[in-house]
Structure 1
Amino acid sequence: MLGAIAAAGIGGAAGCTTGNGTETETDGDGGDGGGGSTTSQTTSQADVSASGTVKIGVMQPMSGDLQYYGMQAIWGFLSGLAYKTDTDPLTGVSEGTETIEDGDVTWELVFRDTEFSADKAQTIATNLAQDDEVDALFGGTSSAAAGRIIDTVINTQEVDIPYMAGPAASASITSSSKTCSPQVFRANENTAMDARSGGKYVAEETDVERVFLMGADYSFGRAVVQNYKEVLETNGVEIVGERFVPQGYDEFDGLFQQAVEADAQGVVGGFTVATLPNFLTAAANYDVRVFGGFATEITNSVLGGLLENLLGDDFTAQGMRDAEIGPFTTRYHWNQYDNDINSSFVDMYTSAYGKVPDLFTSGTFTAASSFHQAVHASGSTDGVDLVDAMTGMTVTDTPKGEDGYVFQEYNNQARSEMTVAYPVPTTDEWSDLWGASIQPSDPVSRVDKDQTTIPRGGMDCSL
Structure 2
Amino acid sequence: MKTGYTLAGMAAASLVALSIGTVPASAEIANHRVKLGVLTDMSGFASDSTGQGSVVAAELAAEDFAKELPGVTIEVIHADHQNKPDIGAATARRWLDQEHVDAILDVPFSSVALAVNEVTRNSKAVFIASGPGTTELTGPKCSPNTIQWTYDTWALANGTARAVTESGGKRWFFMTADYAFGHALERDASAVVKSMGGTIVGSVRHPPNASDFSSYLLQAQGSGAQVIGLANAVGDTIGSVKQATEFGITAGGQRLAALLMQLSDVAAVGLKDAQGLYLTEAFYWDLNPGTRAFADRFAARMDGRRPTGNQAGVYAGALHYLKAVKAANSTDATIVAAKMRDLPTDDPLFGKGSVRVDGRAVHDMLFFEVKKPEESKGPWDFYKLIKTIPGPEAFRPLSEGGCPLVQK
Distance 1:429 1:240, change over 3 A: closer
**What does residue range 51-90 of structure 1 map to in structure 2 within 5 Å?**
52-63=32-43, 66-68=46-48, 69-85=50-66
Alpha-carbon deviation of 1:197?
Answer: 0.7
TM-score, structure 1 as length reference: 0.70
Q: Tell me how far apart the structure 1 counterparts of residues 342 and 195 of structure 2 sit (CA, whole Å).
A: 28
C-alpha distance 447-65 of structure 1, shift in aligned 2 (>3 A): closer
- The answer on 1:166 being equivalent to 2:130 is yes
* Aligned mate of 1:219, from 169, 172, 180: 180
Q: State the secondary structure of the residue aligned to 2:42.
A: coil
SS at match of 1:251: helix
Residue 239 (str. 1) matches residue 200 (str. 2): yes
2:226 aligned residue (265, 273, 278): 265
* Equivalent in the alignment of 1:198: 160
Instruction: Measure, in 1, the Cα distance between the counterparts of 2:325 and 2:63.
Output: 15
Give the distance between the partners of 2:234 and 2:261, measured in 1 at CA: 11
- Counterparts in 2 of 1:293 and 1:75: CA distance versus 1, 3 Å: farther
Q: Judging changes above 3 Å, is the alpha-carbon distance between structure 1 residues 272 and 109 closer, same or farther for their aligned structure 2 residues?
A: closer
For residue 57 of structure 1, give the secondary structure of its aligned residue in structure 2.
strand
Counterpart CA distance in 2 for 1:290 and 1:390 is 38
Query: 1:351 Cα shift?
Result: 3.0
- Aligned twin of 2:78: 111
Counterpart in 2 of 1:16? none
Q: How far apart are residue 222 of structure 1 and its match?
A: 1.5
Distance 1:370 1:120 in 2: 27
The verdict on how the C-alpha distance between 1:388 and 1:379 changes in structure 2, with shifts beyond 3 A counting, is: same
Offset from partner CA, 1:27-55 (integer Å, 9 cap, x none): xxxxxxxxxxxxxxxxxxxxx97863222
Structure 2 counterpart of 1:384, which letter? T
TM-score by length of 2: 0.79
The gaps in structure 1 that reach 5 residues or longer are: 1-47, 87-100, 309-319
Match of 1:406 in 2: 354
Give distance in 1, aligned partners of 2:55 and 2:376.
27
In 2, Cα distance between the equivalents of 1:224 and 1:138? 23
- Which of 382, 391, 395 is the matching residue for 1:439? 382
**Does the C-alpha gap of structure 1 residues 462 and 250 become closer, same or farther in structure 2, counting only changes over 3 Å?**
farther
Give aligned pairs, total: 367
Q: Which residue of 2 aligns with 1:345?
A: 294
| Residue matched to 2:312 | 362
* Alpha-carbon displacement from aligned partner over 1:366-386 (angstroms, at most 9, x marks no partner): 111111110122122322211
Aligned residue identity for 2:387: S
Aligned CA distance change for structure 1 residues 75 and 393 (closer, same or farther; 3 Å): same
Cα offset, 1:279, TM superposition: 7.5
Partner SS for 2:93:
helix
> Residues 287, 350 of structure 1: CA spacing in aligned structure 2 closer, same or farther, 3 A cutoff?
closer
2:395 counterpart (431, 439, 453): 453
Over the aligned positions, Cα root-mean-square deviation in angstroms equals 3.1
Q: CA shift at 1:407, angstroms?
A: 1.4
Among 271, 280, 291, the residue aligned to 1:329: 280
Instruction: Report matched runs for 1:42-53 at 5 Å.
Output: 52-53=32-33
Paired letter, 1:453: F
Identity of aligned residues (%): 21
In structure 1, give the amino acid aligned to 2:286.
N
- The higher-RCO structure (CA 8 Å, 6+ apart) is 1
How far, CA to CA, are the matches of 1:369 and 1:148 in structure 2? 24
Among 270, 277, 284, the residue aligned to 2:248: 284
Q: Distance in 1 between matches of 2:370 and 2:103?
A: 38
Q: 2:106 & 2:234 partners in 1: Cα distance?
A: 22
Partner in structure 1 of residue 340 of structure 2: 390
2:95 paired with 1:148: no
Do 1:266 and 1:288's aligned partners in 2 also have CA atoms closer than 8 Å?
yes
- Deviation digits for residues 154-199 of structure 1, max 9, x if unmatched? 24xx523211123122333333x2x321111111222322111112
In 2, Cα distance between the equivalents of 1:214 and 1:352?
Answer: 36
Distance in 2, matches of 1:252 and 1:135, equals 45
Structure 2 regions of 5+ residues with no counterpart?
A: 1-24
- Distance in 2 of aligned mates of 1:201 and 1:297: 20
Contact 2:160 2:279 in 1 (8 A): yes
Distance in structure 2 (CA, Å) of the matches to 1:415 and 1:245: 32
> Partner of 2:309: helix, strand, or coil?
coil
User: CA distance change for structure 1 residues 381 and 445 in 2, over 3 Å: closer, same or farther?
Assistant: same
Seen in structure 2, the aligned counterparts of structure 1 residues 180 and 214 have a Cα distance that, compared at 3 Å, is same
Whether the aligned pair in 2 keeps the contact of 1:139 and 1:167 (CA below 8 Å) is yes
8 Å Cα contact 1:136/1:161 also seen in 2: yes
Structure 1 CA distance, aligned partners of 2:271 and 2:388? 28
Distance 1:112 1:213 in 2: 35
